[in-house]
């Protein structure tokens, strides 16, 4: 699948957006400062201004539907009838030249994410650029392969789509669904905490997505605000599957995830299964309502202690039905945690569920 680096990284002309080869400093994963012009700003606005086109499948009159054209897990485009692309073009491998590159959307440990548009369909996506040298140095190539394999096969409205991938000599590129409203974590920081209606809407969507994952034998293991994005209608999207595992045996012993969200069984080194996601859902529900995780403490040792003791304390403004759901999710014994089916049917969820308007 490797493409010729010189060809892949040929500068994009000014009518197509900034040149990724100059915007990204090779081997560092850092975005160099670039002063946007008025033309750039107008172009970025045009690329992101049509949320319907960003998130809806493209119809046949405007080119192939990227959601159907990309064969999951291969980075190849399948032949598709009734499109304006030739059969030769639909069977080619993706390269960077297939995309107009826009502004940076975010920076990560191993690379960056850019707003991008597939040239033939005008379909707006997020292009995640990862540096092979950094992945190899950190020894996480297997984790990336697992993430691609898992996420490319998942189809749920509250799970960010991975349309395909490709790579060249030095980089790996993931073609992802674009979530215009950005990170849920930033939204939480801006609001300090969410009201019951908004919390319930997010928890309902997340429970639905996790129920789907578990039906596919996928355990997420790292549910937290930083791994959640918001689509153009404000719907929640699970975006990061780096710690996910497809576990037909449903038993794991690896310690992973973020400290504040780790369940007792993982801290204590016991076998764990998909019920770790139930614990994380309870922690997330508490954090949405209160503005901080329930077992937060000055030191890691104190956090571990509070988790293993399930030292759960609620501010007075958290309603009794809300406390009931959280308490039933945050049980030390995984088998005593309320199931996702029952979360969706919980009176607090059903009584407060309403569409997000912001």
Q: Residue 327 is encoded by which pair of tokens?
A: 């308490």
What size, in residues, is the chain?
A: 358
For residues 261 and 293, the answer to whether their CB atoms sit within 8 Å is yes
Catalytic residues: 222
3-state secondary structure of 85: coil
Q: List Cα–Cα distances, 233 to 182, 196, 257, 358, in angstroms.
A: 11, 19, 28, 8
CA proximity to 90, closest of 104, 82, 80, 103:
80
For residues 235 and 187, the answer to whether their CB atoms sit within 8 Å is no
Count other C-beta atoms under 10 Å from residue 230's C-beta.
21
Give the Cα separation of 112 and 67 in Å (integer): 23
Q: Please report, to the nearest 10 degrees, the dihedral formed by the alpha carbons of residues 27, 32, 38, 41 taken in order.
A: 60
Q: Residue 51 is encoded by which pair of tokens?
A: 């949320």
Give φ, ψ of 136 to 5 degrees: -70, -40
Instruction: Sort 267 into a burial class: Cβ within 10 Å, 0-12 / 13-18 / 19+.
Output: middle
User: Chain-centre distance of CA 168, in angstroms?
Assistant: 23
Count other C-beta atoms under 10 Å from residue 310's C-beta.
16
Give the Cα separation of 142 and 244 in Å (integer): 12
40-46: Cβ within 8 A, 24+ apart: 40/103, 43/17, 43/102, 44/17, 44/102, 44/103, 44/115
Q: Residue 250 is encoded by which pair of tokens?
A: 């449903």
């Amino acid at each position: 699948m490797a493409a010729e680096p010189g060809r892949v990284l040929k500068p994009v002309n000014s009518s197509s957006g900034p040149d990724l080869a100059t915007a990204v400093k090779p081997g560092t994963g850092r975005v160099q400062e670039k002063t946007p012009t008025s033309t750039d700003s107008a172009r970025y606005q045009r690329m992101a201004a049509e949320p319907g086109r960003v998130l809806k499948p493209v119809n046949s009159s405007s080119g192939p539907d990227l959601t159907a054209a990309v064969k999951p897990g291969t980075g190849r485009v399948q032949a598709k009838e009734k499109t304006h692309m030739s059969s030769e073009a639909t069977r080619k491998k993706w390269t960077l030249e297939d995309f107009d590159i826009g502004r940076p959307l975010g920076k990560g440990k191993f690379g960056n994410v850019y707003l991008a548009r597939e040239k033939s369909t005008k379909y707006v996506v997020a292009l995640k650029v990862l540096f092979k040298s950094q992945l190899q140095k950190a020894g996480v190539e297997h984790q990336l392969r697992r993430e691609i394999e898992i996420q490319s096969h998942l189809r749920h409205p509250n799970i960010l789509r991975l349309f395909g991938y490709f790579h060249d000599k030095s980089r790996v590129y993931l073609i992802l669904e674009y979530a215009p409203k950005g990170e849920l974590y930033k939204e939480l920081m801006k609001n300090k905490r969410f009201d019951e209606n908004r919390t319930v809407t997010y928890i309902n969507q997340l429970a639905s997505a996790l129920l789907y994952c578990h039906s596919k034998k996928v355990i997420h293991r790292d549910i937290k605000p930083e791994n959640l994005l918001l689509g153009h209608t404000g719907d929640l999207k699970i975006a990061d599957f780096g710690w996910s595992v497809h576990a037909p045996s449903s038993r794991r012993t690896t310690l992973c995830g973020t400290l504040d969200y780790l369940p007792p069984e993982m801290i204590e080194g016991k076998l764990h299964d998909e019920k770790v996601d139930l614990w994380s859902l309870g922690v997330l529900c508490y954090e949405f309502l209160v503005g901080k995780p329930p077992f937060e403490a000055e030191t890691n040792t104190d956090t571990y202690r509070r988790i293993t003791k399930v030292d759960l304390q609620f501010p007075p403004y958290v309603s009794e039905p809300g406390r009931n759901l959280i308490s039933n999710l945050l049980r030390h014994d995984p088998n005593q945690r309320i199931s996702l089916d029952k979360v969706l049917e919980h009176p607090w969820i059903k009584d407060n569920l309403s569409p997000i308007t912001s």
